[in-house]
Amino acid sequence: MRKKILLRGICSNVRNFIRSSISVSCVVLFCFPSFVSATSLLDVYLQAKHFSPQLKGLHNQYLADAQVVPIKDAELLPTLSLSALISRDHYRKPLRAKVDYHDINLKLQQPLLDMSAWNQTAVANKQALQARYNYVAAEQKFILRVATLYFKVLEEEENVSATMAELKSTKVTFNAISQRFYVGVATRADQTQARAQYLMAKASLIDVQHKLQQSRVDLWAISGKHYGSLDNLKSNLAFNKLHNSTVNFWLHKSISSNPELLAKSYLAMSKYSAVKVVRSDLFPEVSAFINYRNVKNSLADRFFGDNASFSPFRTGFSFGLQLTWNLLESGGTIARINQAAYQYGAALMQQDATRREITKLTKQDYLKVVSTEYLISAYKSSYIANLATWRSFYAKYRIGTISVTNLFKQVPKVLTAHKNYISAKYTYIQYFLRLRLDAGELNLHAIQEINKWLTTSRVT
């Protein structure tokens, strides 16, 4: 009789554990509302951009490379030069005189025909555009890295919450089975298995907590700031961001807008213009000039006078055309032309290789996004189905048709389905960000769009 009363009390305690712990852990995953100020993805990106020395260095390098354009443009504009010479000479024999001499020369020159300078200007423009798209590509990769680290923190936070729920559930299971073992209703093997599951859940919690800390450290390293909380994903977020677009649609975007491919295209264009620059050495250069010269010599003035028509020391203007033409260079020009042509061919091959790589990545990332959409739907359905099964088991347990052991066996299935759903969500976001990177669309506007996927405050 005493054993029966004790067993009834233990079962009542187990039922209370289930109501207060397992239901909460499986359905709401132990989330207790405490709304605090959170940081959005846009805020983190702007902070990281301001903090990153690598990105600042690349931007300064881009600005430096862009200065080649005005430098080459200046070679087509007129130049004005001034030279002056003033001296005093002392002679003892035979004149015993002091001679003052000055020579002032002012020259204005304008290139009229300089094919090399014209083609160098074209090369400079292509190189500036190449530098611009290289910087854009680096900036978009930086955005991908920041967004990846941001969502990694959110994923690990959800994994910690799910693992805490699993730990609490296995602890309740172990306590319940231990009480059943003490009254002789459960076996030693059942107790040992429940304890092993509890210890495994505890180890898993430590592991995911360490991963969360590591992801927070990585986010701090790139942004230079610690964040107490981050905006969370909206619970009703729809994972259908492709909007039924086809792979050809994204391929067209990648071929026309990918900054790495555009940089390689402008590299090939600059190499083609470089061939023209070398070929320009075969043509003459013509420039016009106007020259003003003022020369005075005190000794010549003493003998000839300032107005003597035969005096070489006078003031005057001169103007004319200057022709420069390299007629023979012993084959050096032809060799340089061939060298530039080979470099142009190599640049074309680099462009083609980059185009093929971008095409491959775009197709792969598109297929990954599409397949992950189905995975999210499947894992969500699995989570809902397992949760409904657990509720059905719980109802049967309350009326005594199944044992508590069978009830607790359903709990890991619910938690595993929930973890799979969490992983699929953030995997989808990662693949979608990479697809936007392939298409050359991962910019500030894209960050603002993705920021709308988040809540303005999160539950901790």
Residue 284: predicted pLDDT = 84
Let me know: does 62 contact 135? Beta carbons within 8 Å: yes
- Which residues are within 8 A (CB) of 314 and not within 5 positions of it... i.e. 6 or more apart? 295, 306
- Which residues are within 8 A (CB) of 43 and not within 5 positions of it... i.e. 6 or more apart? none
Give the predicted TM-score (pTM) of the model. Answer: 0.79
Let me know: does 160 contact 212? Beta carbons within 8 Å: yes
- Which residues are within 8 A (CB) of 457 and not within 5 positions of it... i.e. 6 or more apart? 35, 36, 37, 38, 231
Residue 165: predicted pLDDT = 87
Residue 202: predicted pLDDT = 92
- Taking alpha carbons only, the member of 264, 246, 282 closest to residue 357 is 264
Residue with tokens 């080649």: 68
d(CA 187, CA 362): 56
d(CA 13, CA 133): 67
Let me know: does 431 contact 365? Beta carbons within 8 Å: yes
- Paired tokens of 445: 């506007």
Report pLDDT digits (tens) over 435-456: 999 999 999 999 999 999 998 6
- Which residues are within 8 A (CB) of 358 and not within 5 positions of it... i.e. 6 or more apart? 254, 255, 258, 260, 261, 438
Residue 309: predicted pLDDT = 46
Residue 367: predicted pLDDT = 95
Fold of 2-76+128-282+331-459: Outer membrane efflux proteins (OEP) (1.20.1600)
Residue 370: predicted pLDDT = 93
Residue 379: predicted pLDDT = 92
Residue 17: predicted pLDDT = 41
Residue 22: predicted pLDDT = 41
Report pLDDT digits (tens) over 184-203: 877 888 788 888 888 998 99
Domain boundaries, the chain: 2-76+128-282+331-459, 77-113+285-324
For residues 394-414, one letter each, b for 16 or more C-beta atoms within 10 angstroms of the residue's C-beta and e for the rest, the string is beebeeeebebbebbebbbbb
d(CA 388, CA 200): 25
Residue 29: predicted pLDDT = 37
How many residues are present in the chain?
460
CA distances (Å), origin 274, targets 59, 116, 279, 340: 25, 9, 9, 6
CATH number of 77-113+285-324: 2.20.200
- Residues of the chain predicted below pLDDT 70: 1-38, 89-99, 297-314, 330, 404-405, 456-460
Let me know: does 277 contact 123? Beta carbons within 8 Å: yes
